[in-house]
Each structure stands twice: as C-alpha cells, then as structure tokens.
Amino acid sequence: MKQIIDQFIADVQQRNQHEPEFMQAVREVAETVIPYIVKHEIYHGKNILMRMAEPERVVSFRVPWIDDTGEIRVNRGYRIEMNSAIGPYKGGLRFHESVNLSVLKFLAFEQVFKNALTTLPMGGGKGGADFNPKGKSDGEVMRFCQSFMTELFRHIGPNRDIPAGDIGVGGREIGYMFGQYKRLKNEFTGVLTGKGISWGGSMIRPEATGYGAVYFANNMLATRSNQLEGKQVVISGSGNVAQYAAEKCIQLGAKVLTLSDSSGYVYDPEGLDVGKMAFVMDLKNNKRDRISAYADTYPNVSFHAGKRPWEVPCDVAFPCATQNELDQKDAKQLAYNGCFCIIEGANMPSTPKAIKVFHKHQMLFAPGKASNAGGVAVSGLEIAQNSLRYSWTREEVDERLQAIMTDIHDSCVTHGKEGDHVNYEKGANIAAFVKVADAMLAQGVV
C-alpha cells in the first residue's frame, strides 16, 4: 500500500513542483483514501484521485490599484476552480501577503471535500490575492476590491462560482466586491456569500464557522459521554472563526483561556466572558488593533509575544488562525498537559507530525474539512435563501447548522470507526471522496 501511495504522490508532485502546502493536503487525503479505493473495484482504472488533484481551471490576474499617496500598486489575484462535480464552485477569498498558488490550491482541494460533507450541492474553489489589508485605509481597501472584482467578475456567477470570505476578507471587503460586481453586470444576484443582512446575507453566517466547530466538538465529546460545559479551552486566532468559537464555548459553559494573533497570545486565567468578548470584537473588527491590547485592558491577563497558546494547559484546543500553526512539539505539549480533544477551526492548522501525535494518544481530533464546514454550510443556506428570495430567522438557520454539523459528524463516524476509536480524518476524507467520486464517475471523463 505504501508503495502505491508513494507512487501517486510522486506523480502529483512531478507536475506541482514548489507547492508544499498543496502537496501536504493531497498526501493527507491520499493516505486515507487510496486504501479505500484499492478495496472498492468501482474506482479501479478511473484515475479518479489524480483527476481530483488537478484543478478544473486556474485563473491568475493582475490587480492594479492606487494607494492614498497616489502611488500605483500591483498585486496578483487568483481563482482556483477545483471541482464542480456536485455543484457550482464554492469557497472563500483570502487577502494576505502569504497567498500564492500553493496555498490557494491546498485550500481549494480541501474545500471540495468539505463542501461534499455539508450534504449541500456545492463544488469546491478558492481564491484571493497577495494583498495585505492590514494598515490600509477603507478607501485603499475599496479600490483594491473594485480592481480585483473588475477581473474576477468574468469567471464567477450565481450558477458558476460563488466566492465568500476568508482570512482578510470580511463583511467590509465582501460589500465592496459585491458593489463592483453589481455595477459591472447590472444584476443583483447571490454571487457572493457573507453579504450584509439588509442586502441578501444570511442570519448566522458570520458566526457559522466558529459555532459549527463548537457544535462539532460537543458531538465528538458526546461519543465519550462528555460535553464542553466546565472544560478549559484554548483558542488561537482572534478573527472571525476564533471570535465565534469563543462566544459559543462561553455560552455553553466552557472557560476560554486564550486568544492570539500573529504577534502573540493573551492568557486570561479567569476566562473570557460576554463583556470581554465584546471588547475583543470591537478591537479586531472596528479598531483593527492587536490582541495585546486585551492584556493592557484587563487585570491578571498576560501577553506572550511571538508565542502560540498551545503551552497553556487545557482540556480542549481550537486552532482557529492559519495553516501549520500547531506542530509536533505543540501537539506533544498539549497531550502532556492533558488535552484530549482538538477541533480545527482553521484550515490545516495541524502539521502531519502533530496529527500523528493526536492519533498516537487516541485524542479526539477533528480535521478542519469536517469541523469548520459550518461556514460554507451556512453560505449554502444563503444561496438557497437568495434563490427563494426569502430569509430564514436566526433560529431556523442555527437549527439547520446544528443538524448539518451532526450529519457531518455521523458521516465521519460511519467511515472512520476503528474499534472503539474514531479516526475523524479518515472518516471525513472517505465520506467526501465517495460523494464526489461517484458524481464524477456518473458524468464521464470531463
């Protein structure tokens, strides 16, 4: 088996040189899915996983814009349309200086599997630009978004490709891009998700990824007759996903001890509460300031510059910042400190070696493609509401989100059960693979 997997990886590697993040994501899937393919004859001779590892289309384009001093700046924009076997391409846009082809292809590849797990009819895609919105004025961000959409609009559409937010792309950026699309096409359609409530957005969309991850955590804990209430929780990040994961943990009676950003983490031994969360949301979403200001404001809180929060003893950990932010050393430290449950809010935050540590210690480990699928699931519900020209209530959307997270959890258990233990990584990969692969087989060699 190892030989088959290694040969497959070598073949993919050969035509994707210098794309480490993409290869990491492909390898992680191949290691669990190839043994399944070998056992199931309908997939033999179809080269199905190789087809999945090749994007249907990659668009790369120049994004020129003018900054506040009048200087002309240039960034590179992308859209990866990875797989449309089960629905139109769907996936976020990331604006961050680290964006490149490898990062977006890994995210698009993961997105195909994630979207399949949601039970909704969505293919997978991802896009973005190497643009850093940090420190830019609203005017600069608007001009960038307008220039970005002036090219992207040709490639997307409500029945073709429906982008959303991701790192660096929140409500403000979606608004500017939606405005430009509408202007260029003279159409008011659900071409982007994560829209404002008064112009086609869905209730619970901003909360959905974080809330969904917490619902998934409770489903996992229930398999060990446990729950989040009373647990000590460590969270990384302080953006969209981290904020709402923290909010829901607090609502469910867990104690949230940390948040972080790229400059370091804050440790609050008394735990965050509703008032402190309001401070964090204002700090990050309106003032666009650093998380260290939390430690300057509240007593007994410490700021740990340049460090990640995994050294803080906890029961449950939610990595919610970015890829490869939790390595083997961190995983060993978490296990040593008694942490027994890791739920990925971010995409691929744990390195392959960290995941091996989780499995070795039989910790409950939820891969992002399963546990952070709540965001795209509610994006799917936003598309449905836009098509119906109707809005569901907060309670209706939340109920659907909870049901979807339970479905995803159950699919992972079905395909990932190994004796008494559930390998959620294997379960998620196989459940999603079966859905996408069967659709691809039915549609012929396209």
* Nearer Cβ to ligand NDP (49/123): 123
Diameter of the chain measured on Cα atoms: 64
Closest residue to ligand NDP using C-beta atoms: 239
* Nearer Cβ to ligand NDP (125/239): 239
Region of 306 please: left (phi>0), alpha (psi -120 to 50) or beta: left
Q: Hey, how many other C-beta atoms are within 10 angstroms of the C-beta on 426?
A: 21
195 is catalytic: no
> How big is the CA angle at 293 (ends 287 and 298), to the nearest 5 degrees?
125
Question: In the complex, which residues of this chain contact ligand NDP (CB under 6 A)?
Answer: 165-168, 209, 237-242, 261-263, 320-322, 325, 345-347, 372, 375
Asked if 220 and 378 touch (Cβ cutoff 8 Å), the reply is: no
Min dist. Cβ of residue 372 to ligand NDP (A): 4
List, in sequence order, every residue forming a beta bridge with 83; answer none if it has no partner.
124
Min dist. Cβ of residue 189 to ligand NDP (A): 21
Catalytic residue among 105, 114, 126, 248: 126
* 183-204 burial: b if 16+ Cβ within 10 Å, else e: eeeeeebbbbbbbeeeebbbbb
Min dist. Cβ of residue 174 to ligand NDP (A): 11
- Rounded Cα distance between 343 and 330, Å, is 14
* Nearer Cβ to ligand NDP (127/345): 345
Min dist. Cβ of residue 39 to ligand NDP (A): 31
* Nearer Cβ to ligand NDP (88/92): 92
- Rounded Cα distance between 38 and 4, Å, is 10
Angle, to 10 degrees, between the axis of helix 424-442 and the axis of helix 394-416? 100
* Runs of H (alpha helix) within 264-420: 274-281, 292-297, 328-336, 352-360, 368-371, 374-388, 394-416
List, in sequence order, every residue forming a beta bridge with 304; answer none if it has no partner.
265
> How big is the CA angle at 420 (ends 419 and 426), to the nearest 5 degrees?
65
* Nearer Cβ to ligand NDP (150/243): 243
Min dist. Cβ of residue 126 to ligand NDP (A): 9
* Nearer Cβ to ligand NDP (322/429): 322
Min dist. Cβ of residue 325 to ligand NDP (A): 6
Which phi and psi (to 5°) does residue 253 adopt? Answer: 90, 15
Which two tokens mark 172?
């403000």
Catalytically active residues, by annotation:
126
